[in-house]
């Protein structure tokens, strides 16, 4: 079923911005910063520049200011929350929804139905008109790890700002106690009052707007006995309800829970969050489908999360069933293959710890989990039996390992190939030393010993000989010890050790294996999981499977980006390997994964390197690896007039009147004033401020930053460094508690100032330590997305496994490299470009949005402006051969965050292409960036200043200041921005409009101009 077309509410909000798919909005590559002092977020800057949006600009700016205010509130104690585009959009949509619900309900309902009437006709769906009751619920389809919790906290603040009604109860309903505790901790971090239901409905403290956290299992229709269950009738009045993962997949159970939630929500409002709507929605259940069609306001399900590069990659063994393979043999092979997969990861991690640390990759953990915990015990006993056999029978293990690595396992995929053909490349290359395997995975050799951990309920430790524990079994059943003994295992008692489960997250932990992790299913927070063995997977368990999968693929990522790096060197650690000891467990798992539309066929497409004989003559810029900012330079915190931060603490209010029974929202703002903290410095507790700023320094790892209390006071006294807007007269007469508020404001100012100041110094240091290197020395960096241990590489082409014909066409085309280099042959299958001057061919081109779901490329294909640049340049060189007869021309796509980059004062800049123009020993290195300039319009924009020939001195970094500093008479540096935004659109809203020639003098050319190539080469004197 094409679920996307049923998401009517989501499609309505997208239509307000003139698009049908959120990926059509140019927000993906924007990194929001909330501490740069801007009045408006980069996201909103982009949105208000779009054509066809159906909003008043003032309304959008007001929404944006509100969102910044919510983030500031959450950051009061967190201090590190920034929004990613797929978090900003649902928050913005909710802001619009609540504003309309409060102030324009009737017209809002009419507009929804006008849209639905047209949409229903165009998409042939059977969805009834919206009614007022349909406006009491919003649902967010968000992948695990995409920030549902953060969005929930902002939704709480949004509801309290607009207050469609005054809630008598605020509830957060969770599926289990583990998630309740997790939500309690997170709400506290966001300074949101909350408590967990403990049998008492009334709080001793009666905090205003307090959130009561309760498990759905504790809500009943009618209380019949003791315990801490609670009838839904206990909540009188109107309720604001937040629901996290309200579906388990069992239809009967879900219907009962849904009925209770509906009763609670009568005359109230519901926010619901789930990663698993795709598992429970179908055309067979029209009532549920219609409910969520009208309430899902944003869809960032796992498909989009994965396609955007977030989370680990994953490998699921998919063996074709064969009657010749016995269940016992299948289980043994799968267990040993899982062991090899984990051993390979551990070996790589331990031999490359610095690299793993750079990419925020934690020590691998092998877990065995299922979705039906009370039916897992027999599977767990089988796993313990396998572990015993592995440590006891080396010859058996060696024989099984050889069978797998030599391709003799007999397990085939759908194409009849060995399922492990593309696995274990590192082990096939190095071989397997059993002693090393025992040491790395089991902490040594010896007899398997099992101990009941008396200080931790339901835990059993696993060790070999007298070595440290290598694993822990975590089960809920009380009879598991007896079951182990019945199987012939001796179970000792350990009265000394504390919980092994709790120790798994410790940095020094030697625990490598976790079995029967009920707590993992319930939301246990860890980044270590790298290999997963499936235990009992029951039928109809789709939602729990996706939750399990989503937690397994969580990834911190380099610079805490949550993203896969694309660096082949760490691919083994950025992949979650999933095995199952029984074939039907795997098939049920894969069935759930297919509903998420994220099962892809991985195909490697080779590339051809060109002009390699010249790589020793061409120069590039690169940072010096021997100079690290944190180790090389002590940074003294000082007032800096170029560093400025702004905080707006003025509340927005709504004034209401009624005309003709229609609610009208009038925007108003209390009179405001600028707060001069210098007036209050003698009243502030500088010990407290110094302590909080020191803790912030530790949190941010600013190890080389030095300051004292006097320097912090000096910055607060330098009022040119900050602007704090408050409502007029708020601190004219200091009252009880005001000094504490002023200290909080001072801390916020100092944190933002220090973040900006330190980032500026770090970027300048990196730019000051750029040097020339021959291309051959930097090939590993510049070609990193293509490199592999086998010294061959190329694009990773991933095709939706349901697209059987497309997979065949791709494989056929890739096998014939000559046809691959003919860019016109099967260009609809793999759109590509072949440019003789480019240092590798072919260059893949990005598919259109709708086709991205079927086929994607890593690294990504070129976008429209980049394609036009290459085609125009190729045509110009071909048509002007006389001009280039004595000049060698070379070109290279420059990969973002990996290739040549310049750390400007406020942002990193990675031009999309590097071009060399070489004549004898002399060469011009030209950096070219074909991009839109929607939010970089001014001639004073950093990227334009960097590219231009103006030299402003001081801290301003330009391509020419770098050229002068490096002072090589045989190398000239140039930079150009090729604007995909036309000149007319670029200056449309500028009060002072630079002329087109002003832009061109500053090396900004317009790609829609037919003569841009000619202009560029004229500037270059070619």
Q: How far apart are CA 335 and CA 581, in angstroms?
A: 6
Residues 468, 339 share a domain: yes
CB 723 within 8 A of CB 674: yes
Residues 903, 762 share a domain: no
**Rounded to 5 degrees, what are φ and ψ at 328?**
-65, -45
pLDDT given for residue 701 in this prediction: 81
Q: How far apart are CA 47 and CA 27, in angstroms?
A: 8
Among residues 363, 341, 342, which one has the least CA distance to residue 352? 363
Chain-centroid distance, C-alpha 347: 27
Core vs surface per residue 178-200: b (16+ CB within 10 A) or e: bbbebbbebbebbebebbbbeee
Residues 516, 403 share a domain: yes
669 pLDDT tier (thresholds 50, 70, 90): very low
pLDDT given for residue 657 in this prediction: 31
What torsion, rounded to 10 degrees, do the Cα atoms 704, 706, 712, 714 define?
A: -120
Give percent helix, percent strand, percent coil of the chain, each to the nearest 5.
Answer: 40, 20, 40
DSSP state of 293: H
Tell me whether strands 137-142 and 296-300 are parallel, antiparallel or unpaired.
Answer: parallel
Structure tokens at 887: 């000049």
Domain holding 696, by residue range, is 629-639+681-768
Q: For the segment 182-221, what is each residue's pLDDT rounded down to a tens digit?
A: 899 999 999 999 999 988 877 666 788 999 999 988 888 8
Helices (H) and strands (E) in the chain, counts: 36, 41
Residues 705, 818 share a domain: no
Residues 840, 712 share a domain: no
656 pLDDT tier (thresholds 50, 70, 90): very low
Tell me whether strands 239-244 and 230-231 are parallel, antiparallel or unpaired.
Answer: unpaired
Q: How far apart are CA 77 and CA 823, in angstroms?
A: 55
pLDDT given for residue 714 in this prediction: 93
841 pLDDT tier (thresholds 50, 70, 90): very high
pLDDT at residue 661 above 50?
Answer: no
Three-class DSSP labels, 320-376: CCCCCCCHHHHHHHHHHHHHHHHHHHHHHHHHCHHHHHHCCCCCCEEEEECCCHHHC
Among residues 847, 868, 874, which one has the least CA distance to residue 858? 847
Tell me whether strands 575-580 and 529-534 are parallel, antiparallel or unpaired.
Answer: parallel
SS3 1014: helix
Q: Is 15 left (phi over 0), alpha (psi -120 to 50) or beta?
A: alpha
Structure tokens at 312: 């680990």
pLDDT at residue 515 above 60?
Answer: yes
Residues 916, 798 share a domain: yes
Going 738 to 740 to 744 to 747, the CA torsion angle's sign is: positive
Among residues 744, 645, 649, which one has the least CA distance to residue 689? 744
Report how far apart, in Å, the C-alpha atoms of 793 and of each of 562, 786, 805, 952 are: 25, 5, 25, 44
Distant-in-sequence, close-in-space partners of 648: CB < 8 Å, separation ≥ 6 = 65, 68, 69, 725
Q: Provide the edge-to-edge strand list for the sheet that holds 600-606.
A: 600-606, 794-800, 855-858
Going 1001 to 1003 to 1007 to 1012, the CA torsion angle's sign is: positive
pLDDT at residue 710 above 90?
Answer: yes
Among residues 217, 195, 203, 272, which one has the least CA distance to residue 240? 272
Q: How far apart are CA 541 and CA 249, in angstroms?
A: 5
CB 37 within 8 A of CB 319: no
Does residue 486 sit within a domain? yes
Identify the domain boundary among 768, 791, 818: 768
Strand partners, 605: 795
Q: How far apart are CA 606 and CA 815, in angstroms?
A: 9
Q: For the segment 249-269, what is each residue's pLDDT rounded down to a tens digit?
A: 445 666 777 788 788 888 899
Residues 786, 738 share a domain: no
For 382-386, what is the mean pLDDT?
91
CB 696 within 8 A of CB 754: yes
pLDDT at residue 113 above 50?
Answer: yes
Q: For the segment 289-338, what is each residue's pLDDT rounded down to a tens digit?
A: 999 999 999 999 888 888 888 899 888 886 665 567 788 898 899 999 99
Q: How far apart are CA 600 and CA 804, in angstroms?
A: 11
CB 965 within 8 A of CB 976: no
Q: For the segment 947-972, what is each residue's pLDDT rounded down to a tens digit?
A: 887 654 556 788 998 998 899 999 99
Residues 704, 850 share a domain: no
Report how far apart, in Å, the C-alpha atoms of 620 and of each of 682, 770, 841, 946, 961 are: 54, 10, 20, 17, 16
Output the DSSP codes for 194-215: EEE--S-SS-SS--TTPEEEEE
Does residue 660 sit within a domain? no
660 pLDDT tier (thresholds 50, 70, 90): very low
For 548-557, what is the mean pLDDT?
84
For 237-253, what is the mean pLDDT?
78
Q: For the segment 443-465, what is each residue's pLDDT rounded down to a tens digit?
A: 999 999 999 999 988 899 999 99
Q: For the segment 752-787, what is each residue's pLDDT rounded down to a tens digit?
A: 899 889 988 888 888 888 899 998 887 766 776 675
Q: Is 244 left (phi over 0), alpha (psi -120 to 50) or beta?
A: beta
Chain-centroid distance, C-alpha 73: 22
**Is the omega angle on the peptide bond into residue 859 within 30 degrees of 0, that is, cis?**
yes
Q: For the segment 152-191, what is each residue's pLDDT rounded down to a tens digit?
A: 999 999 999 999 999 999 999 998 888 899 899 999 999 9
pLDDT given for residue 666 in this prediction: 37
Identify the domain boundary among 543, 575, 597: 543
Q: How far apart are CA 242 and CA 622, in angstroms?
A: 50
Highest mean pLDDT among 124-128, 336-340, 501-505, 697-701 belongs to: 336-340
The residue behind tokens 């992790």 is 517
99 pLDDT tier (thresholds 50, 70, 90): very high
Residues 755, 801 share a domain: no
Does residue 183 sit within a domain? no
Q: For the segment 885-903, what is each residue's pLDDT rounded down to a tens digit?
A: 999 999 999 987 677 878 7
Does residue 814 sit within a domain? yes
Does residue 709 sit within a domain? yes
Among residues of the chain, what percentage have pLDDT more than 70?
Answer: 89
Q: How far apart are CA 1015 and CA 1005, in angstroms?
A: 8
Going 262 to 263 to 264 to 265, the CA torsion angle's sign is: positive
pLDDT given for residue 659 in this prediction: 36
Q: How far apart are CA 473 and CA 535, in angstroms?
A: 13
664 pLDDT tier (thresholds 50, 70, 90): very low
Distant-in-sequence, close-in-space partners of 792: CB < 8 Å, separation ≥ 6 = 606
pLDDT at residue 915 above 70?
Answer: yes
For 75-88, what is the mean pLDDT?
84
Q: How far apart are CA 33 and CA 81, in angstroms?
A: 9
Identify the domain boundary among 543, 562, 579: 543
Does residue 220 sit within a domain? no
Q: For the segment 784-833, what is each residue's pLDDT rounded down to a tens digit?
A: 667 543 334 688 898 888 888 999 999 999 999 999 999 999 999 999 99
pLDDT given for residue 249 in this prediction: 47
581 pLDDT tier (thresholds 50, 70, 90): confident
Q: How far apart are CA 866 and CA 873, in angstroms?
A: 11
DSSP state of 570: G
CB 462 within 8 A of CB 450: yes
pLDDT at residue 923 above 90?
Answer: yes
Residues 717, 818 share a domain: no
Residues 495, 380 share a domain: yes
Report how far apart, in Å, the C-alpha atoms of 751 and of each of 190, 489, 646 are: 17, 57, 12
Residues 942, 868 share a domain: yes
Distant-in-sequence, close-in-space partners of 790: CB < 8 Å, separation ≥ 6 = 425
Distant-in-sequence, close-in-space partners of 453: CB < 8 Å, separation ≥ 6 = 459, 460, 461, 472, 494, 497, 498, 499, 500
Within 10 A of 329 (CB to CB), how many other CB atoms are there?
A: 14
* Number of domains observed in the structure of the chain: 3
Structure tokens at 998: 């002003």
Does residue 87 sit within a domain? no
**In a 10 Å sphere around its CB, with 0-12 CB exposed, 13-18 middle and 19+ buried, how is residue 941 labelled?**
middle
pLDDT at residue 230 above 90?
Answer: no
């Amino acid at each position: 079923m094409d679920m996307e077309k049923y998401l009517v509410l989501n499609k309505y909000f997208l239509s307000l911005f003139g698009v049908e798919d959120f990926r059509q909005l140019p927000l993906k590559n924007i990194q929001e910063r909330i501490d740069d002092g801007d009045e408006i977020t980069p996201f909103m800057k982009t949105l208000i520049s779009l054509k066809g949006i159906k909003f008043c600009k003032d309304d959008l700016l007001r929404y944006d200011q509100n969102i910044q205010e919510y983030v500031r509130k959450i950051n009061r104690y967190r201090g590190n929350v920034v929004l990613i585009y797929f978090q900003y959009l649902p928050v913005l949509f909710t802001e619009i929804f609540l504003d309309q619900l409060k102030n324009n309900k009737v017209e809002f309902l009419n507009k929804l139905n006008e849209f639905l009437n047209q949409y229903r006709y165009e998409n042939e769906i059977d969805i009834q008109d919206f009614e007022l009751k349909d406006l009491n619920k919003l649902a967010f389809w968000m992948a695990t790890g995409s920030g549902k919790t953060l969005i929930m906290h902002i939704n709480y603040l949004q509801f309290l700002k607009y207050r469609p009604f005054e809630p008598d109860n605020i509830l957060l309903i969770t599926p289990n106690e583990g998630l309740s505790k997790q939500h309690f901790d997170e709400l506290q971090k966001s300074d949101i009052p909350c408590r967990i239901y403990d049998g008492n409905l009334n709080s001793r403290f009666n905090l205003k707007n307090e959130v009561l956290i309760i498990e759905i299992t504790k809500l009943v229709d009618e209380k019949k006995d003791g315990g801490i269950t609670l009838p839904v009738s206990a909540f009188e009045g109107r309720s604001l309800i937040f629901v996290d993962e309200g579906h388990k997949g069992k239809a009967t159970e879900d219907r009962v829970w849904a009925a209770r939630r509906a009763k609670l929500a009568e005359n109230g409002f519901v926010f619901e969050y789930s990663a698993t709507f795709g598992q429970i929605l179908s055309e067979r259940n029209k009532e549920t489908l219609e409910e969520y069609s009208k309430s899902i306001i944003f869809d960032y399900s796992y498909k989009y999360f994965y396609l955007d590069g977030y989370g680990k990659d994953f490998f699921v063994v998919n063996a074709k069933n064969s009657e010749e393979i016995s269940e016992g043999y299948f289980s043994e092979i799968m267990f040993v293959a899982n062991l090899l997969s984990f051993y390979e990861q551990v070996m790589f991690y331990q031999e490359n710890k610095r690299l793993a640390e750079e990419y925020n990759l934690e020590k691998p953990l092998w877990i065995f989990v299922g979705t039906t915990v009370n039916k897992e015990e027999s599977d767990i006993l089988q796993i313990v039996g396998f572990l015993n056999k592995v440590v006891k029978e080396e010859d058996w293990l060696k024989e099984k390992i050889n069978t797998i690595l030599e391709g003799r396992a007999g397990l085939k995929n759908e194409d009849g190939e060995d399922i492990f053909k593309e696995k274990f490349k590192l082990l096939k290359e190095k071989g397997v030393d059993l002693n090393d395997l025992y040491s790395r995975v089991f902490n040594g050799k010896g007899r398997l010993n099992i101990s009941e951990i008396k200080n931790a309920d339901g835990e059993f430790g696993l060790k070999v000989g007298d070595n440290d524990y290598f694993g822990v079994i975590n089960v809920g059943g009380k009879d598991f010890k007896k079951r182990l003994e019945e199987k012939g295992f001796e179970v000792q008692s350990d009265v000394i050790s504390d919980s092994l489960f709790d120790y798994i997250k410790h940095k020094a932990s030697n625990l490598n294996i976790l079995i029967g992790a009920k707590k993992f299913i319930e939301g246990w927070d860890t980044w270590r999981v790298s290999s997963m063995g499936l235990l009992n997977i029951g039928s109809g368990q789709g939602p729990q499977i996706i939750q399990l999968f989503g937690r397994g693929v969580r990834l911190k990522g380099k610079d805490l980006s949550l993203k896969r790096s694309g660096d082949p060197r760490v691919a083994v650690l950025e992949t979650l390997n999933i095995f199952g000891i029984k074939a039907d467990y795997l098939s049920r798992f894969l069935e759930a994964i297919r509903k998420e539309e994220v099962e892809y066929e991985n195909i490697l497409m080779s590339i051809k390197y060109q002009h390699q004989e010249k790589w020793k003559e061409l120069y590039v810029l690169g940072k010096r690896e021997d100079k690290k900012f944190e180790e090389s330079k002590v940074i003294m915190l000082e007032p800096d007039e170029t560093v400025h931060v702004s905080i707006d603490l003025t509340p927005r209010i709504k004034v209401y009147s009624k005309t003709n029974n229609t609610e009208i929202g009038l925007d108003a703002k209390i009179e405001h004033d600028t707060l001069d903290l210098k007036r209050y410095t003698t009243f502030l507790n500088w010990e407290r401020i110094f302590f909080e700023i020191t803790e912030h320094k530790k949190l941010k790892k600013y190890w080389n930053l030095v300051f004292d209390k006097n320097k912090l006071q000096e910055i607060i006294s330098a009022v040119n460094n900050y602007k704090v807007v408050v409502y007029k007269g708020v601190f004219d007469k200091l009252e009880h508690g005001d000094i504490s508020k002023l200290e909080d404001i001072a801390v916020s100012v100092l944190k933002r100032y220090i973040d900006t100041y330190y980032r500026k110094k770090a970027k300048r240091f990196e730019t000051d330590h750029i040097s020339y290197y021959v291309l051959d020395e930097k090939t590993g960096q510049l070609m990193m997305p293509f490199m592999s241990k086998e010294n061959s590489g190329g694009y990773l082409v991933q095709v939706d496994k349901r697209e059987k014909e497309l997979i065949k066409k791709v494989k056929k085309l890739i096998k014939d490299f000559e046809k691959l280099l003919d860019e016109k042959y099967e260009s609809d299958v793999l759109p590509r470009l072949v440019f003789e001057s480019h240092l590798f061919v072919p260059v893949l081109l990005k598919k259109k949005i709708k086709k991205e779901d079927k086929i994607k490329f890593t690294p990504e294909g070129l976008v429209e402006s980049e394609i036009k640049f290459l085609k125009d340049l190729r045509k110009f060189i071909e048509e002007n051969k006389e001009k280039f007869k004595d000049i060698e021309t070379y070109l290279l796509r420059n990969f973002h965050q990996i290739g040549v980059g310049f750390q400007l004062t406020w942002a990193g800049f990675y031009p999309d292409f590097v071009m060399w123009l070489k004549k004898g020993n002399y060469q011009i290195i030209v950096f070219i960036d074909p991009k839109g300039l929607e939010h970089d319009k001014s001639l004073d924009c950093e990227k334009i200043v960097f590219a231009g020939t103006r030299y402003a001195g001081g801290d301003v970094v330009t391509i020419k200041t770098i050229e002068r500093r490096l002072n090589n008479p045989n190398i000239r540096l140039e930079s150009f921005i090729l604007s995909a935004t036309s000149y007319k659109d670029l200056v449309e809203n500028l009060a002072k409009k630079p002329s087109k020639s002003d832009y061109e003098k500053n090396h900004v050319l317009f790609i829609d101009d037919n003569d841009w190539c000619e202009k560029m080469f004229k500037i270059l004197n070619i």
